[in-house]
Structure 1
């Protein structure tokens, strides 16, 4: 009994001395016996370490977390790598296909180059043969008396054709030219020409002034050859009524091969064009369709690509001054000239103003001619001809008359039809015309120069013309 009291008093003393740091608890245990429990705060440890929280466990947890991150990355990146592999395979396949296509194109171009080189070699050989061939001088035979057309001074048609500068009337010495002798091949060719195109009488010829019918087209004169494939087809022009800041000698050129033809090259004169150094390069706001453009009164007139829209581009302001759709006109290969090239709409200029040559569904492919207001592009008047547009190689206007060319490849062809807008009458004619380079894609008339401008298989050429009255 005393021992229990002593323990209890000691506990009270201890609890009193360690107030705030120790506590005593008394209660029955599971068997019902009384138990005393003491709680004392550790003087060194803030908390007791939990079971399993030692350094080994912490290191193990870190390794497990790192392993989980690596597994997650591997599982999540498998699909992207597979997709990337598929994309690379597709890109590789596409690159192989494009390489094969480029190789085929290279082979085709190489074949064309070989063919052109062979053709050039053949032409050089032919030229050498012609240079080495001596000119045969034949004595003039006696002219049969029954053929009155061959007697000197017997007719005005032949005497006019053989006349030369400085020859006075009655001078028959020019008939002694060997190439004109009766019975020779040269004479037979001339006789056929005279039969096809009657020569104008001197009193009826207007001698290059004023208007008249087309009587003669001279030999083609080559001014320049294009440097690249873009110049196989094209159009070149001189403004017959130029406006400042450009003068009458200014020459303009458009190469028409390409998906976006927009460059207009300007040259100060024909000599600079021959040298190939433009002084002005303009970028047109709308792409050009084919070779039907023309120049008139300080503006470029052309057809907008893949449309029936006509555009007037002012050279001074370098901007579009007018645009208008050509009513019902076929475009982009519907009614082209026989050589193709999307030549459905063709501008032309002559002594009477600005024209456009085209066709419509209503006309069923026959050529329609419309005279345009050069400022607004409004149609002033139209004529429907009986000439099928797809059967002729090209067309141009002279003095209000439409003329068509039969072939664009034949070296010796003809201007085969004409249509007079004054009488609305058409007729077949046969004025000799030469395609020296055998692929004529553009023919236009310049009323001031009195020349035809043409683009013949990379070559910029011109022809003198003679106007007058037919017999």
Structure 2
């Protein structure tokens, strides 16, 4: 009996030890599971932080690439501006240089100038492929009346762009941009327009919109041509217009000192100087650099001229009277000598309200955008080939 008690006692003791071992193992397993769970949590957190760090590094690298490209563009722009400053300094030095000690024979000087002009004409003729000229005005459409008596409106001369721009007045800095002609005509006033604030006021009505850039003239002691990016809202470039003793280009529109124009061959400048005061002059410009490529003195008088435009390298000057009457193209100058005023047809505009303060030709549509006493008008042109003359 005593042995049975001992056996029972030993069995109970062994069972207690076994249970204690099991409890110990369970506690250890729970601790290990807690450590594994903590390790997984820390691993996930570290992986998330690494992903976020990678994304931040990628974003910073992209920003660095963008800043590098912007810096490269700025450096190129600075280089271009430095070249322009050097050219303008050279121009100013030539205008204020010392007088020669030797008298130059006037006839010899005139002969040399004539030879240079003839060489310029021959050079330009090789670059000119456009041969269209005006035959007549087919139709006229009055779209709207917005703004004051004098201003300019035009459409962006750029394929794929239908934007319309309003420059109201002769000395302002706010341009109205419409997404299309339809938005312009259906808008009460300028309510549907986007407002562009130029960094400086324009002078006159000689502006153009070409390839999403506004080219306008400002007067700051000297005449400056400014190139403004309408998409970025910033000035891309500016240059001194190299004429001395300028005078208003049109006798009936004295506010316009330089009238910029666009045709099938690019950017032009119509201007006048005191040295050639009775007549209008013409210059071909590089739209990218604003450099003057060539210049011509025309035989078209300034007196009673109200506006002008260029088509295929041919300047058409529009005349009126002091008391506004019927506008007409009365003088033509072709840089290739293919058209003369005697050969060109006398084109009359339909009688409207007063006189044109601006006429802008769109070579993509063969339309004239006219501003007449606050009315915005479109003229549809009929063209013919110069070779048919």
Asked whether the two chains share a fold, i.e. TM above 0.5, the reply is yes
Superposition pairs of residues 376-395 of structure 1, within 5 angstroms:
376-395=289-308
Do residues 304 (structure 1) and 218 (structure 2) align?
Answer: yes
Which of these residues, 215, 219, 230, is aligned with residue 139 of structure 2?
219
Choose 461-470 or 270-279, whichever is displaced more: 270-279
SS of the residue corresponding to residue 271 of structure 1 reads: helix
TM-score normalised over the length of structure 2:
0.61
Contact 2:253–2:307 (Cα < 8 Å) also in 1: no
Distance verdict in 2 for CA 1:359–1:405, change over 3 Å: same
Cα displacement (A) at 1:211: 3.8
Measured in 2, the distance between the counterparts of 1:250 and 1:211 equals: 28
Q: CA RMSD in A?
A: 2.2
Contact 2:261–2:270 (Cα < 8 Å) also in 1: yes
Superposition pairs of residues 311-322 of structure 1, within 5 angstroms:
311-322=226-237
Ranges of 4+ aligned residues in structure 1 off by more than 6 Å: none
Contact 1:406–1:413 (Cα < 8 Å) also in 2: yes
Distance verdict in 2 for CA 1:425–1:238, change over 3 Å: same
The residue number in structure 1 matching 2:98 is: none
Q: Which has the higher helix share?
A: 2
Cα displacement (A) at 1:252: 0.7
Measured in 2, the distance between the counterparts of 1:329 and 1:301 equals: 21
Do residues 268 (structure 1) and 179 (structure 2) align?
Answer: yes
Contact 1:330–1:344 (Cα < 8 Å) also in 2: no
Distance verdict in 2 for CA 1:336–1:381, change over 3 Å: closer
Contact 2:261–2:269 (Cα < 8 Å) also in 1: yes
Contact 1:410–1:434 (Cα < 8 Å) also in 2: no
TM-score normalised over the length of structure 1:
0.51
Q: Deviations over 1:110-142 (max 9, x none)?
A: xxxxxxxxxxxxxxxxxxxxxxxxxxxxxxxxx
Which stretches in structure 2 are left out of the alignment for 5+ residues?
A: 1-129
The number of aligned residues is: 252
Measured in 2, the distance between the counterparts of 1:248 and 1:329 equals: 37
Measured in 1, the distance between the counterparts of 2:201 and 2:284 equals: 24
The residue number in structure 1 matching 2:263 is: 350
Cα displacement (A) at 1:336: 3.4
Cα displacement (A) at 1:278: 3.2
Q: Deviations over 1:121-169 (max 9, x none)?
A: xxxxxxxxxxxxxxxxxxxxxxxxxxxxxxxxxxxxxxxxxxxxxxxxx
The residue number in structure 1 matching 2:359 is: 443
SS of the residue corresponding to residue 349 of structure 2 reads: strand
Distance verdict in 2 for CA 1:275–1:341, change over 3 Å: farther
Distance verdict in 2 for CA 1:329–1:218, change over 3 Å: farther
Cα displacement (A) at 1:466: 1.1
Measured in 1, the distance between the counterparts of 2:156 and 2:363 equals: 10
Contact 1:404–1:418 (Cα < 8 Å) also in 2: yes
Which stretches in structure 1 are left out of the alignment for 5+ residues?
A: 1-209
SS of the residue corresponding to residue 184 of structure 2 reads: helix
The residue number in structure 2 matching 1:278 is: 192
Superposition pairs of residues 42-441 of structure 1, within 5 angstroms:
211-226=131-146, 230-241=147-158, 247-257=160-170, 260-276=171-187, 277-305=191-219, 307-331=222-246, 334-407=247-320, 410-423=324-337, 426-428=340-342, 429=344, 430-441=346-357
Q: Deviations over 1:66-109 (max 9, x none)?
A: xxxxxxxxxxxxxxxxxxxxxxxxxxxxxxxxxxxxxxxxxxxx
Measured in 1, the distance between the counterparts of 2:327 and 2:319 equals: 6
Cα displacement (A) at 1:220: 2.4
Cα displacement (A) at 1:412: 3.0
Cα displacement (A) at 1:407: 1.0
Contact 1:410–1:435 (Cα < 8 Å) also in 2: no
Q: Which has the higher strand share?
A: 2
Q: Deviations over 1:165-203 (max 9, x none)?
A: xxxxxxxxxxxxxxxxxxxxxxxxxxxxxxxxxxxxxxx
Measured in 1, the distance between the counterparts of 2:384 and 2:237 equals: 36
SS of the residue corresponding to residue 249 of structure 2 reads: coil
Cα displacement (A) at 1:427: 1.9
Measured in 1, the distance between the counterparts of 2:235 and 2:357 equals: 26
- Structure 1 or 2, whichever has the larger Rg, is 1
Measured in 1, the distance between the counterparts of 2:204 and 2:244 equals: 15
